[in-house]
Amino acid sequence: MSDIVIVSGSPVEVSRSQSILDYIGSILEGKGISVECVSVREVPAEELMSGNFRSSKLNEITEKLTAADAVVVGSPVYKAAYSGVLKCLFDILPQDVLDNTPVLPIMTGASISHLLALEYALKPLLSTLKGKPLKGIYYLDSQVDKMAAFPIQDEDLVNRTKKQLEYLVEQINTGKSFS
Ligand SMILES: Cc1cc2nc3c(=O)[nH]c(=O)nc-3n(C[C@H](O)[C@H](O)[C@H](O)COP(=O)(O)O)c2cc1C
């Protein structure tokens, strides 16, 4: 099983948050960490909309998250919170699916005024699922080029991203040394 699972909450195929998650995945793999990716886009819409708790796709995602040493969750800001489809997915996952797991939250948004969506929307959701959210990072659309191999266009943000990933990996290693 993978060390880190990356969850993408954008319903859009070519997405800013997805491009950052891909970049994060490549940094983690460069550190020798095994990474698995999950996207809201892979869950059939009727299963999300009907709250199908018995969905085989859902079981697969639950197994990945339960086995993960750490998780990265990314979402676009939609109407000052995370995307509705990410909430639909988390609504039908077991309530302790992130049990004691370090989680790095990231969000992309068009406006700096919704920076606090990270604090007041995404982090509480992750805590409800018993995850341990790290500080997290908010990326403005103007700082992200979703078509570029290195999507983060601001050097300070690149450094902050790398720092948060170092911290996430540190959390995994600390957790392992106590188990
Ligand atoms: C339906 C919708 C609602 C949005 N609402 C907000 C918002 O409330 N605040 C904000 O800063 N950006 C908002 N945006 C802009 C997106 O958060 C932003 O473009 C984001 O980077 C898109 O991420 P994605 O490409 O990964 O889907 C909205 C975009 C859409 C499509």
- The tens digit of pLDDT for each residue in 66-116 reads 999 999 999 999 999 999 999 999 999 999 999 999 999 999 999 999 999
In-domain check, residue 111: yes
Q: Is 174 in the pocket of ligand 1 (CB under 6 A)?
A: no
Residue 100 domain-assigned?
yes
CATH number at residue 24: 3.40.50.360
Q: Is residue 55 part of a domain?
A: yes
Q: What pLDDT sits at residue 177?
A: 65
- Report the C-alpha gap between 43 and 79 in whole angstroms: 22
- Residue 99 belongs to a domain: yes
For ligand 1, whether the C-beta of 110 sits within 6 Å is yes
Q: Would 81 be classed as within a structural domain?
A: yes
Spatial CA neighbour of 131 closest among 165, 160, 96: 96
**Residues 6 or more apart whose Cβ sits within 8 Å of residue 84:** 78
Banded pLDDT at 176 (limits 50, 70, 90)? low
* 171 secondary structure, DSSP code: H
pLDDT-derived band at 173 (thresholds 50, 70, 90) equals confident
What Å distances lie between residue 46 and 21, 107, 144, CA to CA? Answer: 26, 26, 32
Domain count, the chain: 1
What's the domain range around 30?
3-173
pLDDT (tens digit per residue) in 112-135? 999 999 999 999 999 999 999 999
In a domain, 82, yes or no: yes
Question: Is 75 a pocket residue for ligand 1 (Cβ < 6 Å)?
Answer: no
Q: Whose CA is nearest to atom 5 of ligand 1?
A: 78
Whether the CB-CB separation of 37 and 21 falls below 8 Å is answered with: yes
Whether ligand 1 lies within 6 angstroms of the CB of 15 is answered as yes
Using the mean position of ligand 1's atoms as its centre, give its distance from the Cα of residue 177 in Å.
40
Total-model pTM: 0.96
Torsion of CA 168, 133, 37, 34, to 10 degrees: 20
In a domain, 178, yes or no: no
pLDDT tens-digit series, residues 139-156: 999 999 999 999 999 999
Q: How confident is the model at residue 1 (pLDDT cuts 50, 70, 90)?
A: very low
93, two tokens = 């996952």
What secondary structure letter does DSSP report for 6?
Answer: E
The reported pLDDT for the residue numbered 179 is 54
